[in-house]
Amino acid sequence: MSERITQALAKLFKKHRIVFWYDEEESLRGDFDAITLPEVEKVEIANNEFGLKYRLLREQPMQKFLIFKSGPQPEDRDNWLLDVQLAHTDFRTDKASLWLTELELPHELRPIVNRHEFFFDSAKRRDLLKDRVTKTDTTTQICIKMLGVCADSDSRIDSVLENLLEELASDSASKRYELIAKCGLDQFLWEQVERTYGYNSDSPTVKDFAISLFKSCYSMEL
């Protein structure tokens, strides 16, 4: 655990001078004490917020700080360091947050990670996704890129379908679609297919979509 935390923090300090770490479950004191990061000073919040703020902003304005607090983050109205935290960043240690930190995505996207945990549980898939995502991506854009990873395709619905149809035509096992289903992305896939192609079925499958596509093309020719 300490190694993963150290790696995640190192990435944050490449872009931020100050990182706040709230140990909500009060179980990571040992990890905090054990961590050593080059050029980063470790300090703790312990009823010293005013003096700490003066130190961060006035006395040592160029120094990097890891600020630890045992327990949950205080309410905004009681948080004397809220302005400093909002100007920099915070670090969270649940699994979803660590993955988002690794991908350099905002913590507001945690619902996606929680819904598709099987996808993110693979380091290989996370690495492939990291090469595709940006901080400005919407939820829909990220899910389409996740589909692209699962289908070994570009991050477009038509490209995803092309690879799924190729797999169907080769009579091989439907490993790509099975992975999409395991990752909980199948419903999203068919929603996008309906939006793009007008395909709707109570029990959608790649084969049924292919048949519907041929029928539609045949009708258009007639």
- Residue 188, H or E segment: helix 186-197
Over the chain, what is the mean pLDDT?
A: 91
Q: State the pLDDT at residue 1.
A: 56
pTM for the whole structure: 0.72
- The DSSP annotation for 86-142 comes to HHSEEE--SHHHHHHHHHT--GGGHHHHHHTHHHHT-HHHHHHHHTT--TT--HHHH
The rounded distance, in Å, linking the Cα atoms of 151 and 148 is 5
| Full strand arrangement of the beta sheet holding 64-70 | 40-44, 64-70, 18-23, 89-91
Tens digits of per-residue pLDDT, 143-174?
999 999 999 999 999 999 999 999 998 876 78
Tens digits of per-residue pLDDT, 172-212?
678 999 999 999 999 999 999 999 999 999 999 999 999 99
- Residue 172 identity (one-letter amino acid): S
Tens digits of per-residue pLDDT, 85-144?
999 998 887 788 888 888 888 888 989 999 999 999 998 999 999 999 998 999 999 999
